[in-house]
Amino acid sequence: MATMVDCPTCGKKVEWTEANKFRPFCSERCKQIDLGAWAEEKYSIPAVNPPKDFDGGDLPH
């Protein structure tokens, strides 16, 4: 049995299989709507500001 997910754009149930070339979207249309939203900066990833005394010494190089 295939895993079912909700299309992020319209909410329609979609099978998560290799046969669905638009996954996790239900269609090319929903995929393009989502891409357009990113391009118009309607989505954002919040920035995390390090503490003022952070020197970056613990970060891998």
33 labeled part of a ligand binding site: no
Has 56 been labeled as part of a binding site?
Answer: no
Taken in order 19, 20, 22, 23, is the CA torsion positive or negative?
negative
* 29 Cβ contact partners less than 8 Å away, ≥ 6 residues apart: none
Does 26 show up as a binding residue in the annotation? yes
- 10 carries a ligand binding annotation: yes
Q: Residue positions in the annotated binding site?
A: 7, 10, 26, 30
Q: Residue positions in the annotated binding site for Zn(2+)?
A: 7, 10, 26, 30
